[in-house]
Each structure stands twice: as structure tokens, then as C-alpha cells.
């Protein structure tokens, strides 16, 4: 008699975050658009979840990609 166990080991992927600003130098009165891309790499499923941005006194805003 024997017992066997199958173990499924999942390795979580660290997604790549790419941030593309509309300008790298702006005036304080000037808005800034950021385009954020989160990618798991080739062959992996589309990354789902949320992204938020903060810094320079800007309050985070959560956006679902």
C-alpha cells in the first residue's frame, strides 16, 4: 500500500511596472498625465488589480488597470 501526494507549487511572478509621464519637467500649474502599464511578461495572463500613484504631495488615486 502506498500513498502518494501531488504538491502544486506556484511561483508568483513579479510583474513589470512601466510608468510613462506626459512630461518629465512641468510647472506646478501644469497637469501631468501618467500612463502605467503592468505586465507579467510573455505567455503569462493579463495582470489584473489596481495601481495607485503618490509622491510630491499628491494623494493616491487608485485605478484598476
Is-contact 7 27, C-beta < 8 A?
no
Q: Which of 5, 7, 54, 59 binds another protein (CB under 8 A)?
A: 54
| Interior/surface letters 18-28, b for 16+ CB within 10 angstroms, e for the rest | eeeeeeeeeee
Scan residues 18-37 and list those touching another protein (CB under 8 A): 18-19, 21, 23-32, 34, 36
* Residue 1 lies near another protein (rule: CB under 8 A): no
Q: Which of 10, 42, 43, 59 binds another protein (CB under 8 A)?
A: 10
Q: Which residue has the cell 506626459?
A: 22
Q: Could you list the residues that contact another protein (CB under 8 A)? A: 10, 12-19, 21, 23-32, 34, 36, 38, 40, 44-45, 47-58, 60, 64-65
Amino acid at each position: 500500500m502506498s500513498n502518494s501526494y501531488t504538491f502544486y507549487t506556484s511561483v508568483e511572478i513579479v510583474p513589470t511596472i512601466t510608468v510613462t509621464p506626459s512630461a518629465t519637467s512641468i510647472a506646478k500649474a501644469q497637469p501631468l498625465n501618467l500612463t502605467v502599464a503592468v505586465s507579467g511578461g510573455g505567455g503569462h495572463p493579463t495582470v489584473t488589480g489596481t495601481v495607485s500613484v503618490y509622491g510630491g504631495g499628491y494623494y493616491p488615486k487608485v485605478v484598476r488597470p
